[in-house]
Amino acid sequence: QVQLVESGGGLVQPGGSLRLSCAASGFILNANAIGWFRQAPGKEREGIACISNTNNSAYYKDSVKGRFAIFRDNAGNLVYLRMNNLRPEDTAVYYCAAAPLDACFYTGFPEAEYGSWGQGTQVTVSS
C-alpha cells in the first residue's frame, strides 16, 4: 500500500524555524518528484515547493523562496522542508505529495500531476 506520512509540524513564533519530513511506504521515495503543498484556513491548497526526481533541482513559490528549502536525505528515504523566518501567513496544514513523472517541470505545481498524498501536518505561526 502506497502511503506518505508528514511529520514535524507544530506551533512556532514568528521568525522561528521548523523542519517538516515526508516519509513513504510502499514505494521508493527518491524515484518520485516530491511536492510540498499547504492549505490555510479558508483558502485553497497551494503548491510551494518541488524537488525533481531527475536531477534533484528544487523549485519554489515566490512567497517562500529564500525562506524554505526542500531536500532529500542522503539515503533518499525522506524529503524535508526546512522553513525559516516563519510568518503568521505561513500557518496552514502542510502536505507532501509524490509524482512518478517529474512534476516539477510544470509551473504552478499542478496537483493533478501528483498521485499520492499524505494526510498533512499542522503548522501554526503565532506569538
Task: Tell me what percent of the residues of the chain surpass a pLDDT of 90.
Answer: 81
Q: Measured between alpha carbons, how far is 25 from 73 in angstroms, rounded to an integer?
A: 15
Contacts of 92 (CB under 8 A, 6+ apart): 38, 39, 40, 41, 43, 122, 123
Of 122, 126, 102, 91, give the one whose Cα is nearest residue 6.
Answer: 122
Q: Which residues pair with 96 in a beta bridge?
A: 36
Span 3-11, mean pLDDT? 96
Q: What confidence category does residue 109 fall into, taking pLDDT thresholds of 50, 70 and 90?
A: very high
**Rounded-to-integer distance, Cα 85 and Cα 102, Å:** 29
Please state the rounded mean pLDDT for residues 42-62: 95
Summarize the confidence of residues 93-117 as an average pLDDT: 93
Rg of the chain (C-alpha set): 13
Confidence of residue 74 (pLDDT cuts 50, 70, 90): confident
Q: Is the pLDDT of residue 55 over 80?
A: yes
pLDDT of 126 strictly over 90: yes
Evaluate if residue 1 carries a pLDDT over 80: no
The mean per-residue pLDDT over the stretch 8-30 comes to: 94
Q: Tell me: pLDDT of 2 over 90.
A: no
pLDDT over 70, % of the chain: 100
